[in-house]
Amino acid sequence: MKLLIVEDDREAASYLKRALSEAGHAVDYAAAGRDGLLLAAGEPYDVIILDRMLPEIDGLAILRTIRASGVKTPVLLLTALGGIDDRVEGLEAGGDDYLVKPFAFAELLARVNALARRPPTQELRTELAVADLKLNLLKRTVTRGGRRIELQPREFQLLEYLLRHAGRVVTRTMLLESVWDFHFDPKTNIVETHMSRLRGKVDRGHGCELIHTVRGAGYILREPD
Binding site for other proteins (CB under 8 A): 9, 11-12, 15-16, 19, 53, 80-85, 100-105, 152, 154, 180-190, 192-194, 196-197
CB of 34 to other proteins, least distance (A): 20
Name the residue among 83, 63, 62 with its Cα closest to residue 74: 63
Which of 121, 188 has the CB closer to other proteins? 188
Task: Give the three-class secondary structure for 110.
Answer: helix
Which of 183, 222 has the CB closer to other proteins? 183
C-beta atoms surrounding 194 within 10 Å:
18
Burial (0-12, 13-18, 19+ Cβ within 10 Å), 84: exposed
CB of 187 to other proteins, least distance (A): 6
CB of 25 to other proteins, least distance (A): 17
Which of 71, 110 has the CB closer to other proteins? 110
Which of 148, 215 has the CB closer to other proteins? 215
CB of 9 to other proteins, least distance (A): 6
202 in Cβ contact with 149 (< 8 Å):
yes
Instruction: Quote the CA–CA distance of 212 and 192 in Å, as a whole number.
Output: 12
Helices (H), 23-170: 33-42, 59-68, 84-92, 105-115, 153-164
CB of 77 to other proteins, least distance (A): 14
CB of 129 to other proteins, least distance (A): 26
Which of 20, 71 has the CB closer to other proteins? 20
Which of 88, 208 has the CB closer to other proteins? 88
How many Cα atoms are found within 13 Å in the side-chain-facing hemisphere of 147?
8
Q: Which residues lie below 8 Å from residue 177, measured CB to CB, with a gap of 6+?
A: 183
Instruction: Quote the CA–CA distance of 138 and 175 in Å, as a whole number.
Output: 22
